[in-house]
Amino acid sequence: MSYMKDCPDCPDSVGKINHYVECCNGLVCFTDYSDSILIWNPATREFKHLPQPLPTEDDHFFVRHIGFTRLSFGYDEHGNDYKLVRIAQPHRKNPSAQVFSLRRSSWRHVEKGLPRGKLSHSCKVNVNGVLYWMGCRSEETNDYFVLSFDLRSEEFHEINLPPVRMGNMDGDEYDDLEPDLIRWKDSLGLLVHDCEICSHDCERVLWLMGRECGPGPERSWTKLGKVLKKPIGLWFGAIRNDRFVMSRSRSSSHKGVCNYELYLYEPFSQLETTLPIREREDICEFTQVFDYSESLVSLSVYTGVEKK
């Protein structure tokens, strides 16, 4: 983790385009929640501002600026291309999608298999060239599903969840316990509260999806067991070595601002390792934490690339 404003090699525009989208092969993607999108390699100091997305039928200020878009970024190994997917959900009806190819430096519409439904803003993951989002068909019944996008074929697919009964510790179904998607051992993982085997709201069951893909929404899921067995604070997802990044309140400063610390949590052993993060009084909570490894992937082969 790094504080982008303190990074001497950070492009000046990152101060404004500072919402993290995704990190892939050392390339970090940011947006400002409108149509300003930046791809940056901190190791080579190269960065590229993406052109404006294509206009759509429901393209207006409210959709573009109030968070009705979902972005994800990944690598198409077959085409040796980095791609960004943008899904617009105006009023959660008639969604539209387009993909940006870094190699072609252009956008194009892609809507094959794109269903209706609310997609989670933060619950997304990139596994082996496929992007995944958690979706909900109905807010009244919390009918969750997984939406996938294959970066090679550029097609969407719906995936059903494993048979679990979601609810709270009192057995009330469809409480505010939204499932989470994670990358676990190079597979898609699902963390879900199953009220039939979880005795506390903080508990989650980890499922892994098989790699066999059929024509329909059904997939094989394997239950690994219960994780997150006690209240351990806010979590940010899984990172290398299959540990979770967590945060918790540590102390209050003399200004009365609560300080937070980050730590790694091993779900099955429940071991915790505090991360040595430099304290800052103006940072009261961590909202963007991601796993980053330096790489020499060059953006210079693409058009419109600048260097800090």
Residue 153 lies in a domain: no
Q: Helix H segments across 161-286? A: none
Q: How many domains does the chain have?
A: 2
Residue 220 lies in a domain: no
What tens digit of pLDDT does each residue of 73-112 get? 999 999 999 999 998 877 656 788 999 999 999 999 997 8
Name the residue with tokens 């039939």.
196
Whether the Cβ atoms of residue 270 and residue 73 lie closer than 8 Å to each other: no
Sheet holding 204-209, edge to edge: 180-184, 187-192, 204-209, 221-227
Contacts of 143 by beta carbon, 8 Å cutoff, 6+ apart: 136, 137
pTM comes to 0.83
Q: What is the DSSP letter of 17?
A: S
If phi over 0 gives left and psi between -120 and 50 gives alpha, with beta otherwise, what is residue 13? alpha
Q: Looking at residue 300, what is its pLDDT?
A: 78
Q: Please, what's the largest Cα pairwise distance for the chain?
A: 59
Whether the Cβ atoms of residue 95 and residue 88 lie closer than 8 Å to each other: yes
Provide the β-strand partners of residue 166. 194
Residue 41 lies in a domain: yes
Question: Quick one: CA torsion of 132, 133, 138, 139, rounded to 10 degrees?
Answer: 150
Minimal CA–CA distance to 227: which of 188, 187, 197?
197
* Distance in angstroms (rounded) separating the CA atoms of residues 108 and 103: 13
If residue 189 lies in a helix (H) or strand (E), which one and from where to where? strand 187-192
Domain boundary among 111, 133, 160: 111
Residue 161 lies in a domain: no
Residue 289 is part of which domain span?
235-297
Residue 198 lies in a domain: no
Residue 175 lies in a domain: no
Domain boundary among 70, 85, 111: 111
Q: Looking at residue 28, what is its pLDDT?
A: 92
pLDDT tens for the chain, 308 residues: list them: 444 445 556 666 555 667 788 899 999 998 886 678 999 999 998 889 999 888 876 666 555 554 678 899 999 999 999 999 998 877 656 788 999 999 999 999 997 878 877 787 777 889 999 999 988 887 677 788 999 999 999 999 999 998 876 654 344 444 456 788 888 888 898 888 765 555 555 677 889 998 776 656 778 899 887 776 555 566 666 676 678 887 777 655 555 555 677 788 888 788 888 887 765 554 455 566 777 888 888 887 776 556 66
Domain boundary among 60, 76, 111: 111
Distance from CA of residue 289 to its chain's centroid? 11
Q: Looking at residue 84, what is its pLDDT?
A: 96
